[in-house]
Every structure is written in C-alpha cells, then in structure tokens.
Amino acid sequence: MSLILPRIYCASIATETNTFSKLTTDLSDFKNSFFAEPKKHPPTPTLCSAIFPLLRNLQKKKKIRLTEGTATWAEPGGLINSKTWNFLKNKVLNEIKNAGNLDIILLGLHGAMISNNCNDCEADLIDNIRQIVGTKIIIGATFDPHSHISNKILKNLNIITVFKKFPHTDYVETARECIKLSIKTFENKILPIISIYDVRMITILPTNKNPMKKFINKIKKIEKNKNVLSISIIHGFMAGDSPDLGAKIITIMDKDQKYGKSLSKKLGDELFSMRKNLAPKMFSANTAVLKAKKLSKNCSKPVLIADIWDNPGGGVAGDSTILIKKAITMDLKKVAVGSIWDPLAVNLCHEAGEGQYIDLKFGSKSSLNAGGIIKERILVKKIAKNVFQKFGKSLVPLGNSASIEFKNLEIVLNTNRSQAFSIDIFTLLGIDIKSKKILIIKSTNHFYNSFFPFVSNIIYASVNGIYPNNPKKNNYKNLKRKIWPIYENPFK
C-alpha cells in the first residue's frame, strides 16, 4: 500500500429517465426518494450510493482521507427539468471545487439520466468534473446495467464498474470493485484501459436464469485471468430515447488494449447470438390471469403474476388496474396486489382509519391507458406511515401506505412510487401472503429473490399500457444506430 493516503471525494446523483413518460422529474422527486447532504448519508447503502459506507469504513481504518459529497436518488420517471439537473450538477461541481486537493473522485451513478436540456447527463457531469480536476486525477464510477453508456462517458473515466446481476443484488460488491480498482490505479499498481463493444440489441436480460446466468458465471471466470480487471454488461433501457440506447460489453484491462478490444467483441457477439432466448416468456393480461387461476387450484403456495411493464422502476406510475379488473371479472379468490400508487386514496384511508368502510376511487389516475379508476366500497385493513421495504441492505420508501379489502382482494396503496422489491410490500401492511392463492405485483425482476421461496409459480404478464415495451413501435428520435429487434440484422 502506498504510504500516501489517497484523498477521495464521493458523490451520487442517480435516476433512470423514461423519455416517453408524462411524469416530469424535479427536485422534489429526489428529495422524496432519497437526498443526503454531505456527511449525512445513512449507514446503509442505497442502490447507487454503496460507495459511501464502504469509503467510510476505509477512512475509519485510516486507509484513505475522505470528503463526502451529496448523494441523491429519484424514483425513475420522465425527463428531469433543466433547473433540477443544473442544480444537482452544479452542487457536485462546487463541492469538488471546495474540496481542496484530491487524488480520486468516485461517483455512484445509474446511467440513463436525461433532462430536457441534456440527453446524456452522466457524460455532462463527468466531463465537467474532468475539466475542473484535469487529467491526473482518477475518476471512477459505478453504473446500473440499465443505462446508456456513451464514448464521452468512457473518455473521462479511469474506472467503470456495473452491476452484473439483475435483480441488482450485487450493488455493494460493484461499489467495492470500483473503489479497489481506483485506489490501485492511484498507487500505480495497474494501468486500466477501457474497451467497449456495441452489441446492437435491446431486450430483457434476467441473470437469475439461463442463458444469462451461465454467461455471467463465464465472465466472472474470465475476470480471474491475468490483466483482466473488470468486465461489464450494459443491458440498456428501452424506454430512454438516447443515441446510445442498447446493450454493450465493457472490459477493463491492465495495459492490454488489444486483448480488451478482442474480448469485448467476442463476448458481445456471444451475447448477440443469444438475443432471442434471453427475455422471460410473457403472457397477455387475460392469459396470465387465466393461467394463474388454473395453477392456483392445485398449489400449496400462491401463484405470482408480475406486471412487468407497469413497473415504477421503469419510470411509469404503477397505478394500472388492468390485472385487478381481470381478477374481479374472473371472480378470483384470495388475491393480494402490491401495489397501486395513489396518494389521494392513501390519504382518504388514513383519514378514515383502520376497520372503517368507505367508498373509494383508486388507481388509473395517471393515464387513460391504465385500466380505468376502480370505484368500490372497501374496508381499510391497515394504515402505516413512512413505510420502507428492503432491497438487500437498502431501504426503499413507500411513504404513507394503506391496505384495503373488497371482493376477496387485498390491495396495497402507497404514496411514493416504487416497484415490489420484497415481500415487505405486503407483510408491512398486514397481508399474510401464505394465505393467498394469487399475488399480483408490479416489477420486472427485482422481486425475484425475496418472493421466490414463497410462491409456487411465477407468471410474467406483458400488459399493454403506457410503457414503451415494443422497440419496433417506439418513436425513437435520438436513436440513429441500427439495433435488434428494430432491425433483424443490425450489423449489415
């Protein structure tokens, strides 16, 4: 270890922008989800700020000198307004200017952040940082794989690490890798060279199932080879109209640029060859509910339906009632739904109190394509304030919440948009999932690790709504490259 302790500054600005969403993202969205001023970050990590507690631990061991900056996260939504983006960017830049001499800057980012005055916010931030600190300072960053990675981003980074898993349960490990490689670079123990290969495709890449599970294991084995520092897969984010949308392979080699380029291409070509077998099998709303009804008759555990597109993690409201109405029409019994975003309905339930019957209108208030508002006389089962569900070591806010019951359905209503990360979304609102026949949740894949032990079957429902789930039909204006499935052979 170098006798000189590296002087490190860290910050985190993160969200994921659905450019087709009508939900404008402003500063209040960041503050409602997660906002920590310098030195105010909690001891627990968040998805994109796991560098903070890890760096604090190194400082306690007197291995670094740390300056903490701002850390903030907004639930995915629509375009960030320019005032908010400029404020957040300048806040970090001013913190760096006032930090004194630095050796390393570490950033916790998501990627896929777009404002109405910038279509590559992460590149904008990193480029401005590089202009301030010059070329000798090490800049490292962590990213979510559902991101858009441009050459401008990589040009200004020394180190980039990306969550390998989807569900993203390895965010702490990813942060640790970024810190380790950045410090080794500062100590002149490695000379990292980044290569990127454009895979030219966009689809869902769940790593908890094959073939992606095997592919990730293969990559981890390759990373043990000499000179291979890190390998990352960018999945891309189909709801973000970006010039850099799509899957990519990123390699970091110690000095060996030639091998980095060839390896990234080799892995990229292998990933492309699997493109038609990566996404989970999906069913229409009607078929999904019928299938769940049939399976639930002979199962000791509930059947789970994942509404993968009405997922707040993709920047939509999460208030679609389509599957609920299907369940009512088919007279399903013992059904629990988690959750419906409806702050007004939550307030009305809190005002009424537990055990009260009220006439309630809830759901489908954000769009004409979300199934329509449900009007029912409901029982307020449970109310709770400032609810948080767990995702690994991270705590995700649901805000004030309520569970309601009518027609053999129990439904969770919440005030902070959030997908279902864990069974907490039910249990914290007094719903016993073991007593249910069918669970309906809004999440693409992050639910998997928590729910899997408690369910008999998982059905992925592709419910048409406001999420742009068909790249062939999405009206991309900034995407100029050919990618699959828009083009059957994008390399021609």
Place 4 in a pLDDT band, splitting at 50, 70 and 90: confident
What would the mean pLDDT of 303-318 be, rounded to a whole number? 96
> SS3 of 169, please?
coil
Q: What is the pLDDT, as a whole number, of residue 368?
A: 87
Residue that is written with structure tokens 């989970």 in the block: 280
Contact 246, 481 (CB under 8 A): yes
Tokens, residue 429: 């609102």
Residues 6+ apart with CB under 8 A from 30: 15, 72, 73, 74, 84, 88
The CA distances from residue 265 to 231, 259, 384, in Å, are: 12, 10, 51
Place 220 in a pLDDT band, splitting at 50, 70 and 90: very high
DSSP track, 386-401: EEEEEETTEEEEEEEE
**2: pLDDT strictly greater than 70:** no
**157: pLDDT strictly greater than 50:** yes
Q: What is the pLDDT, as a whole number, of residue 466?
A: 87
Contact 203, 445 (CB under 8 A): no
Closest CA to 112 of 155, 156, 70, 162: 162
DSSP track, 447-467: THHHHGGG-SEEEEE---SSS
Percentage of residues of the chain with pLDDT beyond 90: 97
The CA distances from residue 179 to 5, 175, 189, 402, in Å, are: 14, 6, 14, 40
Q: Within the chain, how many helices (H) and strands (E) appear?
A: 13, 18
Contact 280, 204 (CB under 8 A): yes
**297: pLDDT strictly greater than 90:** yes
Residue type, 469: N
Contact 338, 425 (CB under 8 A): yes
Peptide linkage before 485 cis (omega within 30 of 0): yes
Q: What is the pLDDT, as a whole number, of residue 133?
A: 98
Q: What is the pLDDT, as a whole number, of residue 184?
A: 98
Closest CA to 144 of 79, 31, 18, 232: 232
What would the mean pLDDT of 162-182 be, rounded to a whole number? 98
The CA distances from residue 351 to 241, 343, 427, in Å, are: 41, 12, 22
**203: pLDDT strictly greater than 70:** yes
Q: What is the pLDDT, as a whole number, of residue 356?
A: 98
362, β-bridge pairs: 374
Residue that is written with structure tokens 């555990």 in the block: 301
| pLDDT per residue as tens digits for the range 371-410 | 999 999 999 999 999 999 999 989 999 999 999 999 999 9
Contact 141, 178 (CB under 8 A): yes
| pLDDT per residue as tens digits for the range 329-344 | 999 999 999 999 999 9
68, β-bridge pairs: 10
Beta strands in 348-393 (DSSP E): 357-362, 374-391
| pLDDT per residue as tens digits for the range 426-469 | 999 999 999 999 999 999 999 999 999 999 999 999 998 889 99
Residue type, 53: P
Between CA 141 and CA 146 the distance in angstroms is: 15
Q: What is the pLDDT, as a whole number, of residue 465?
A: 86
Q: What is the average pLDDT value for the chain, to the nearest integer? A: 97
Between CA 312 and CA 77 the distance in angstroms is: 8
- Greatest alpha-carbon pair distance for the chain in Å reads 70
Q: What is the pLDDT, as a whole number, of residue 244?
A: 98
**1: pLDDT strictly greater than 60:** no
Taking the CA atoms of the chain, what radius of gyration do you get in angstroms? 23
